[in-house]
Amino acid sequence: MPIVTYILRDGERREIDVPVGTSVMEAAIQHNVRGIDAECGGCLSCATCHVYVDATSTAELAPPDDSELELLDGVATERRPESRLSCQLVVVAAMDGLVVQIPARQG
């Protein structure tokens, strides 16, 4: 299984084996990763699963679609070029090594 590393607000790193086909958000919820609120449950309507893809990440990601880009305009913390919604990052084998940082706040 691909490993996704979550960097929590306090700097703690959590490495999680994530099954292929599971979103980065779902894995965070299943493993009680603090800071990913996911109020809409992954329906692409709330942006409370915002993460920053770490520059050291070796994962290969598809670019965000127009719906994701639109929601990223309304995130609670600074939007950066590396901002993504973790509900839209569905894990594939090429995402092994993905590192995401949880922003200071979601709502």
Query: Model confidence over 77-106: pLDDT tens digits?
Result: 999 999 999 999 999 999 999 999 999 998
CB 102 within 8 A of CB 8: yes
Q: Whole-prediction pTM value?
A: 0.93
Q: Read off the pLDDT band of 27 (50, 70, 90).
A: very high
Q: Read off the pLDDT band of 29 (50, 70, 90).
A: very high
What residues make up the domain containing 27?
Answer: 3-101
Residue 59: pLDDT over 80: no
Q: What is the CATH number of the domain that holds 42?
A: 3.10.20.30
Give the rounded percent of residues in the chain with a pLDDT score beyond 70. Answer: 100
| 25, part of any domain | yes
CB 32 within 8 A of CB 16: no
